[in-house]
Amino acid sequence: MTDKAKYVAALRALGIQAGDCCYCHADMTPFMRGKDRQREIIGAWAEALEEALPSDTATMILPTFCWDFYHGKVYDPATTPCNTGCLNETLRRRPEYARTKHPVFSHIVRGKRTNTFLETGMDAFGLSSVFGRLNGIRSKILFIGVPFYKCCTFVHFIEQLWGVPYREPRYFTGKVCEHGRISEVRCSHYARPADGSVVADFVPLETLLRNENYLSEVEVDGGKIGVVDTGYVFQAARKLLSENVESLIERKAKA
């Protein structure tokens, strides 16, 4: 069986269907460990996702976050590389993927609902963000080679909606280049304190999702992939926050 066929079979075993809307976190490290054909493995995962989630019926979203805007660099959706992994960067370069305009928390989108996810604002975790759109329709979060507790950015949308006291809006201005035209924009995200005193801790949330059988996983080719509905994440996170508003963080000594 080819790598691509193995990956497609694993996605199907998780219940990924041709009409799904999927937000995908990915780390290729577990699948490439001890192997010398890394480019082929990345390509196989890219093709497997596109086969399992065909563009005429499904929607696929991947984060292409980049921190250069914080340091005064111009953001160009067409050319600015992302800091979220080799699979994401590989897909970012493909013409069939469109990229959102938020200069820090950008995403690439492909498929049926592309316009829904491109029509987002400059508040990274607000109601009109990619995460707000995910919450507004039935959608899934897919974890390829990386566990839920390390990367589920959707939780920050829930924290902002809840109004947790350990985060606050932080605003940034800078330049964006689109089709050769440069303009100044103002964007924001719901940020933790800059002193390092708050660290995200999604282990309790992952544990609750597992206990309720909401988070499904399978092993393939040396790594794990998992999936969970956004509605279940929303429901479980609100339950934890209602019991303890700091249930999704760990307090640290100030840096």
The answer for 63, left when phi > 0, alpha when psi is -120 to 50, beta otherwise, is: beta
Residue 80 has what DSSP assignment?
Answer: P
Are 64 and 74 spatial neighbours (Cβ–Cβ below 8 Å)?
no
- CB-side neighbour CA atoms (13 Å) of 185: 22
Residue 146 has what DSSP assignment?
Answer: S
pLDDT at 247 over 70: yes
pLDDT in tens, 140-173: 999 999 999 999 999 999 999 999 999 999 999 9
Question: For residue 254, what pLDDT band results from cuts at 50, 70 and 90?
Answer: confident
191 CA to centre of own chain: 17
pLDDT at 34 over 80: no
Structure confidence at residue 37 (pLDDT): 83
Kind plus residue range of the DSSP H or E element containing 144:
strand 140-144
Distance (Å, rounded) from C-alpha 118 to C-alpha 149? 27
As a whole-number percent, the residues of the chain with pLDDT over 90 amount to 93
Mean pLDDT of the chain: 96
pLDDT in tens, 222-236: 999 999 999 999 999
The model scores a pTM over 0.75: yes
Structure confidence at residue 60 (pLDDT): 98
Structure confidence at residue 255 (pLDDT): 67
pLDDT in tens, 171-199: 999 999 999 999 999 999 999 999 999 99
Work out the average pLDDT over 96-108: 97
